[in-house]
């Protein structure tokens, strides 16, 4: 992990062909007369002792709701075999990790109210199907992590059914009070519910009682469940649901010290079972709070505040609040150990939030060039629409242009598809080089090709235009400038400025990726001064609305 202070320092180093003895006897860029006079020399690359980044830093993840992804047997419900049948699509897209929303036996369609943690949801398939999925994914270089819900169970879970009887084996597995404490939850919502002569605590719903994680017997059981999924079923980690709510301390119900302590112990148990397992936590809160869970409690947390600012910037066409949030994120997380995303299964889909294909392109660039580990919610790469109620943001994946269910099922889909699947579907977008899917695919390839984007230093650039968001990412000789016009107007006076001393000479630039920018535009390098800064850089004369320009600097 990078220290925050390193983000603006030593941001460049010579490329493989740089230095005084460049190829073909030519002088290297940094020793040309102009560069010597004005730009600082490039420092050596990163120290050899630097620990390798964990595997997930190199991955782009994809969140799958199995019920809505692909149905293999015509019952209208997506299943594990359906997902296996479509792994090639995810491999082609460049996905290296899949986050499965809950696949354990659950009471509700969404799976977040588990009835049996050691069984596969019968609608989705069998344990054999799950093992086949893990094997097929691993063959393609794709890791599998699953949602693990430890805060609460279904009221139908046999543990709770037993716990309803005072003095039963599972009595203390839940949180009981003999009298009604009467207070509400963090947002004033009801959290205490009557059961017999007692009251139980439930943060999210009367049908989802909170487990008593202060009971070491419960902790032991959950650690055993984690080992079952890691060892017996072969998963590569977990997405831990709702972790700020785990252990209440009276009316202090979120982010308690006891919650942090429990997670640190759980994290250690997971590492003991599988040292490179990933734990990514959902802390639906400010960056200030979500970052406090890394790295002790979990390896990554989703940065909801940054996600909001990526969407806001894309929607209103202004970079300022996003640039500020990104700086804050890197500072709070002390580097880059966080999960970046635009939306998940609880939020209005990107295309419905932005309602504009150009803005969705800009948002995709922000996500897939982000220093955090990107997570793509299924269908976002197609521009799938959806707004609450929840079922509508979790609707079936459109695969083909024809048929009432767009290739999702041969039967009647459990939930109707969104309108527009005749154009918004995998088959149609796969053959259209101008599609949003093509943009996603190209951006993921770009990220794969440039370690600077995945694990490099991040140097923000200021722009004279409020609509332009830009930064330079650097790792060793890999230097990449990302420039995005978030606005709906073309920008010409967008001069870029590097105010802090953070880079070395740039002799030439080349287009690594462009979307919406004229292919005829030949970019020019910035004029780096002796103190490692530059002003007035306009690599191309015009940045069209919502365009992306990614340059390599040599
Ligand atoms: Ca099915």
The predicted pLDDT at position 17 comes to 34
From CA 55, how far away is CA 53, in angstroms rounded? 6
pLDDT score of 45: 57
Any idea of the CA torsion for 224, 60, 470, 306, to the nearest 10 degrees?
-30
For the segment 310-366, what is each residue's pLDDT rounded down to a tens digit? 999 999 999 999 999 999 999 999 977 999 999 999 999 999 999 789 999 999 999
Q: Is the peptide bond prior to 89 cis by the omega test (within 30 degrees of 0)? A: no
Residue 216: CB atoms within 10 Å: 9
> Running along the chain, 554 residues long, what does each successive block of 10 average in pLDDT?
33 36 35 50 59 93 98 98 98 98 98 98 98 98 98 98 97 98 95 97 98 98 98 98 97 97 98 98 98 97 98 98 98 91 98 93 98 98 97 98 92 96 96 97 98 95 98 95 98 95 89 94 94 95 97 96
Architecture of the CATH domain 55-151+216-451:
Alpha-Beta Barrel (3.20)
268-279 residue pLDDT tens? 999 999 999 999
Closest among 457, 460, 461, 462 to 474, alpha carbons compared: 457
Give distance in angstroms: CA of 48 to centre of ligand 1: 50
Length of the chain: 554
What's the gap in Å between 78 CA and the centre of ligand 1? Answer: 5
Distance 410 CA to ligand 1 centre (A): 10
Whole-number Å distance between alpha carbons of 119 and 126:
8
Question: For residue 171, how far is its CA from the centre of ligand 1 (angstroms)?
Answer: 37
- Ligand 1 center to 63 CA (angstroms): 19
The Å distance, Cα 371 to ligand 1 centre, comes to 37
Q: How far is the CA of 209 from the centre of ligand 1 (A)?
A: 29
Q: pLDDT tens digits, residue range 102-127?
A: 999 999 999 999 999 999 999 999 99
What pLDDT sits at residue 517?
96
Q: What was the pLDDT predicted at 51? A: 73
Residues β-bridged to residue 116: 105
CATH 3.20.20.80 domain locations along the chain: 55-151+216-451
Give SS3 for 326.
Answer: helix
Annotate 392-444 with DSSP letters as a single string: GGSPPPP-SSSSTTTTS-SS--SSPPPTTTTTSSHHHHHT-TTSHHHHHHHHH
Known catalytic residues are: 241, 282
pLDDT in tens, 17-69: 333 333 333 333 333 334 444 677 776 655 444 678 999 999 999 999 999 99
| Tokens 């984690």 belong to residue | 226
Ligand 1 center from residue 445 Cα (angstroms): 32
How far, in Å, from the CA of 150 to the mean position of ligand 1?
27
DSSP element (H, E) containing 267 = helix 257-273
Query: What are the structure tokens assigned to 245, written together?
Result: 């709510």
């Amino acid at each position: 992990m990078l220290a925050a202070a390193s983000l603006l320092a030593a941001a460049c180093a010579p490329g493989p062909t740089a230095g005084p003895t460049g190829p073909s006897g030519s002088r290297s860029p940094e020793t040309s007369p102009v560069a010597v006079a004005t730009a600082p020399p490039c420092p050596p690359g990163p120290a050899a002792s630097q620990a390798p980044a964990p595997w997930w830093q190199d991955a782009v993840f994809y969140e799958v709701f199995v019920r809505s992804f692909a149905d293999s047997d015509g019952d209208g419900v997506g299943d594990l075999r359906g997902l296996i049948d479509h792994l090639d699509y995810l491999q082609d897209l460049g996905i290296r990790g899949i986050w499965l929303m809950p696949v354990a036996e659950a009471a509700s369609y969404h799976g977040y109210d588990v009835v049996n943690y050691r069984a596969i949801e019968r609608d989705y398939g069998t344990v054999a199907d799950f093992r086949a999925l893990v094997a097929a994914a691993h063959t393609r270089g794709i890791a599998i992590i699953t949602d693990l819900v430890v805060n609460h169970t279904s009221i139908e879970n046999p543990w709770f059914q037993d716990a309803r009887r005072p003095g039963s084996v599972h009595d203390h597995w839940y949180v009981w009070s003999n009298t009604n404490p009467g207070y509400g939850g963090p947002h004033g919502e009801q959290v205490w519910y009557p059961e017999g002569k007692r009251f139980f605590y439930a943060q999210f719903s009367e049908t989802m009682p909170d487990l008593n994680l202060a009971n070491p017997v419960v902790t032991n059981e959950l650690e055993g469940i984690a080992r079952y999924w890691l060892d017996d079923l072969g998963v590569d980690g977990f997405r831990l649901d709702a972790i700020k709510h785990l252990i209440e301390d009276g009316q202090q119900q979120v982010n308690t010290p006891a919650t942090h302590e429990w997670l640190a112990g759980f994290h250690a148990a997971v590492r003991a079972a599988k040292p490179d397992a990933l734990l990514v936590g959902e802390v639906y809160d400010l960056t200030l709070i979500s970052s406090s869970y890394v790295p002790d409690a979990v390896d990554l947390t989703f940065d909801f505040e940054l996600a909001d600012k990526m969407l806001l910037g894309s929607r209103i066409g202004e970079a300022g609040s996003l640039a500020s949030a990104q700086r804050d994120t890197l500072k709070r997380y002390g580097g880059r150990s966080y999960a970046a995303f635009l939306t998940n299964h609880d939020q209005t889909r990107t295309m419905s939030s932005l309602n504009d294909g150009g803005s969705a392109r800009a948002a995709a660039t922000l996500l897939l060039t982000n220093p955090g580990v990107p997570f793509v919610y299924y269908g976002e790469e197609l521009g799938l629409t959806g707004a609450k109620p929840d079922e509508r943001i979790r609707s079936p994946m459109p695969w083909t242009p024809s048929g009432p269910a767009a290739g999702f099922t041969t039967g009647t889909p459990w939930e109707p598809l969104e309108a527009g699947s005749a154009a918004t579907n995998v088959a149609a977008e796969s053959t259209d080089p101008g599609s949003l899917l093509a943009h996603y695919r190209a951006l993921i390839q770009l990220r794969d090709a440039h370690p600077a984007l995945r694990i490099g230093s991040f140097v923000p650039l200021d722009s004279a235009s409020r609509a332009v968001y830009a930064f330079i990412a650097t790792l060793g000789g890999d230097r990449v400038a990302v420039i995005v016009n978030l606005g709906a107007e073309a920008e010409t006076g967008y001069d870029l400025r590097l105010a802090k001393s953070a880079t070395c000479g740039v002799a030439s630039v080349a287009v690594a990726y462009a979307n919406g920018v004229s292919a005829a535009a030949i970019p020019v390098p910035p004029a780096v001064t002796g103190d490692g800064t530059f002003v007035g850089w306009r690599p191309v004369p015009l940045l069209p609305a919502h365009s992306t320009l990614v340059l390599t600097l040599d």
